[in-house]
Amino acid sequence: MPCVNMNAVLPKARREGYGVGAFNILDYASTRAVVQAAEENAAPVIIQTSPKTVQFWGCGTVAAWYRELAEKTGVSVVLHLDHCKDLEVIRRCIDAGWTSVMIDASSRPFEENLELTAKVIQMASPAGVTVEAELGEIKGVEEDVAVSSTQARLADPQKAALFCRSLSLDLLAPAIGTAHGIYKGEPRIAFDRLEEIARLTGLPLALHGGTGLSAEVFTRCIALGCAKVNISTSLKHVFIDSFVSYQNSHPQEYEPVKHLGFQLEELKKDVTRHIRLFGGAGMA
């Protein structure tokens, strides 16, 4: 399949009521695990990259993994830049071949967030790259995005409506009570707010902080308009734990491709579990 942006997968998902998983990759093997799991489940999928991962490997390398895998598979695969505050990094990713980017100016005042998002849309649109913006502040710790729970602000539906009317935005990440990282206790999701934002904006919404939410919460959020569901922490844990557990059970083994093979299979299982949970299987 050719490389596609969010508009090739999200409007259909929102219309038909399923979620497209956006999985934060860490290296080539995890990227391959995500694409293979999507292929085996005939599901559209989003390869998501944190700015930290992009910085570690370099734009050209990550874009080459994406092209190599996306062009050879029969399912739609999007390459998306997650939570980026730096316009220069966004520019470099657009030039390298990302098909979608997120500008995270949610810690700024509303007007500044609007202004920065407009700038990114101006950079992205001519290249056919879709744009995600954040409203309110999604709490938790992810990369260098840290917002203490007391500072956490939920997205305001009226402001969300105004924000989306003022811009030709492709998708919106409203803060609705989910958090990045591992939940301590039961998260309190503002379903009413989510419903209102979905209705007032009409856009596909992105659900952040997906790791650890119950099947019931996923189903409800997806039904209310969350067409993109982010999974990062879960893959980080499987990435490390699978490698370590393989070594613990094979202490004499120093042929790393065996560890990598086990790790790839475990990552695929985790991605598959989420794809099925979001109702994306068979929707490619």
The yes or no reply on residue 268 touching Zn ion (CB under 5 A) is: no
Closest to Zn ion by CB, 83 or 268: 83
- Shortest distance (Å) from residue 142 CB to Zn ion: 6
Long-range contacts at 52-61 (CB < 8 A, ≥ 24 apart): 52/143, 52/144, 53/24, 53/25, 53/26, 54/81, 54/89, 54/93, 55/89, 57/27, 59/92, 59/93, 59/95, 59/96, 60/96
- Scanning 6-14, 148-156, 208-216, 247-255 for contacts with Zn ion by CB under 5 A, the matching segment is 208-216
Closest to Zn ion by CB, 106 or 263: 106
Number of residues that bind Zn ion (CB under 5 A): 1
- Scanning 91-99, 196-204, 205-213, 246-254 for contacts with Zn ion by CB under 5 A, the matching segment is 205-213
- Scanning 28-36, 50-58, 207-215, 237-245 for contacts with Zn ion by CB under 5 A, the matching segment is 207-215
- Shortest distance (Å) from residue 143 CB to Zn ion: 9
Task: Give the integer Cα–Cα distance in Å for 97 and 59.
Answer: 9
Residue 26 sits at the vertex; the CA angle it makes with 145 and 220, to the nearest 5 degrees, is 65
- Say how far residue 6 (Cα) sits from the centre of its chain: 11
Residue 192 tokens, joined: 């009413």
Q: In terms of DSSP H, where are the helices of the chain?
A: 10-16, 28-40, 51-57, 59-72, 87-96, 110-124, 157-166, 191-201, 215-223, 233-249, 256-277
- Shortest distance (Å) from residue 21 CB to Zn ion: 14
Closest to Zn ion by CB, 39 or 143: 143
Closest to Zn ion by CB, 82 or 156: 82
Give the catalytic positions in this structure: 82
Residue 234 tokens, joined: 């879960």
The yes or no reply on residue 259 touching Zn ion (CB under 5 A) is: no
Q: Show Cβ contacts of residue 51 under 8 Å, excluding neighbours closer than 6 positions.
A: 81, 82, 83, 84, 85, 86, 89, 143
- Scanning 34-42, 73-81, 206-214, 266-274 for contacts with Zn ion by CB under 5 A, the matching segment is 206-214
- Shortest distance (Å) from residue 262 CB to Zn ion: 28
The yes or no reply on residue 208 touching Zn ion (CB under 5 A) is: yes
- Shortest distance (Å) from residue 173 CB to Zn ion: 7
For Zn ion, the nearest residue by Cβ is 208
Closest to Zn ion by CB, 208 or 228: 208
Closest to Zn ion by CB, 180 or 268: 180
CA distances from 168 to 6, 51, 202, 237 (A): 14, 24, 12, 36
Residue 272 sits at the vertex; the CA angle it makes with 170 and 243, to the nearest 5 degrees, is 110
- Residue numbers of the site for Zn ion (CB under 5 A)? 208
